[in-house]
Structure 1
Amino acid sequence: YINKIELNRLMKEAAELRDPTEHYHAQPLEDNLFEWHFSVRGPPDSDFDGGVYHGRIILPPEYPMKPPSIILLTPNGRFEVGKKICLSISGHHPETWQPSWSIRTALIAIIGFMPTKGEGAIGSLDYTPEERRALAKKSQDFCCETCGCSMRSALLDLTPNSNPSAEDHKAKELAQQINFKSSLSRQAIETGGGENNPSTLTQGDSSTSASEETDKAQAEQAEASTATGEEAFRTPTTSTSSGHPLSPRQRRAQQHSQQGQREPAASRAAFTPAHQPQDESHTGSAILIIVLTLALAALIFRRIYLAHEYKFDYDL
């Protein structure tokens, strides 16, 4: 089911991308409006220069509120063939997607991402420059069996006097924002300490994860301060002597060690005044036992006395 707003958005984007440009082209399949096939030219002055690469864009029913999935079909040495790639504009990262982005934005962003490092992201490859150049030459011979598009005629020929359109300028600005977010993520990984392994993080991670980690660390610090009293506020737990911020794991270890140092003193302070009330209670119990014993003995002697007196009166 497609509502009217989504249908108008898809039809508008299809009309805008109907004519191929020198750098990209995309159109939906005739029988499926949610599957688009695209072709992009490799960025100049890179290992992909001279290559033309083909792929699929799978749109979710909630598009443009949710991001598309991107799959490359042409071997390129940067993205795996036939596998959904992990970028901040793809379905792997719905938290970074913006409805203002479009398929044109995604195409320009793919071109911009190609010269970057894979860093172990899902669907990413790190081939050597020689292998990528060889694949760029072979990409011209690729022909899609589904849409029948040939890479030799998919895009317009490059000309030195070609000027990008206003839509291209706008899409390029949005794509630069995507690249900027990705660079912020890599910078946070490099300066965030040894706990995070860059090879396990994706390119599309934005600074949102860093801010969440900071909020979590602040919450943990507040809880530790409440549990350990006023001394926790006077003890620096957020940085080392060299000025670098501590990781959450190191911060928790430091807090546990400080708590361990306070607990013996607190236990000794709590144990010392407890001796006197305990001794007094023992003394009072002993006195009470003696009094009760004497009272019981007096009752026994009185009982015996009364029994003998009654017997004496009876004999008389």
Structure 2
Amino acid sequence: MPTRGPMISVWRRWADLLSPRSCAGCHCRLAPGEDFFCSRCHLEVPRTYYHLSPYDNEMARLLWGRASVERCTAFAFYTSKSNICRPLYRLKYGHHPEVGVALGRLVAQELHPTGFFEGVDFLLAMPLTQKRERHRGYNQCEKLAEGIIDITGLTLLRGVVVRVKDTETQTHKKGRERIENVKNAFALAENASELIHRTLLRAQKQSASPAERLTSLLNTLSSLIRHPSLSFLKPSLSFLKPSASPPHPSVPTGLHFLLIDDVITTGSTLCACMQALKKLPGVKISVLTVGFSSSACPLGPPPVEKTTSAEAADKTP
């Protein structure tokens, strides 16, 4: 119907009137055309633009020599004064998992057109300990990944890397203390190959065409003929010739994982997780975080040099 778009706009306006939405950065009321951030906060996000040079940037150089990494980027610089800090705090400590999905969707909308996700086979969220995940109720990195999936259509791989050590918070620790704190904190799951294989099969079934699904159904029905208890069905199902069952495929080598985290400071936690993931044969790892806590973070626009009229006259030829 041609009136569907205007009707959706009308319903959206009524919903905003009854239950106003607020900006995740400044908590002001959002306009009908705004989502998550208001226009002002959206423009003031201190973006890193590392996705324009994902192989060589400050975040990638932070991991050089410590872990083998493909592409690295962070959505924004993370400081206590940036408007990206408040939604991340609500996500981690305010019991608002919907903030993570919306934030992941926002990040993916900006990175997806640039080709940053090309060649990635799976998303992998930074794992939490069972105790911390039960206390929080969710894994904030998985919520970010769910928002990315809404835009990119990639597959989230769960349970391949587990956190076996309940470490202390990294917030108030220095560089060397952070490394020692997360040492041997991650391990590759014993059934990692089986989990990857099942996830690959599930992804193939979801992306299969109707003809491929029909072929799979016919192969399943044909296997019933060989079952002794269903021998009476052989005459009626004789037109289904059992096809040779394919050999059990092994997990392919050279899979490309995109590791999702909320904030990177020194990279110690990411490196510890990547060391466990590197036990898979020929694996490639890229990193995507929402925030990057760095000394190079711009706290505002670049200063404008003020010159007097006499200095300006001296500079003119």
TM-score by length of 1: 0.24
Q: Which has the larger radius of gyration?
A: 1
More helix by share: 1
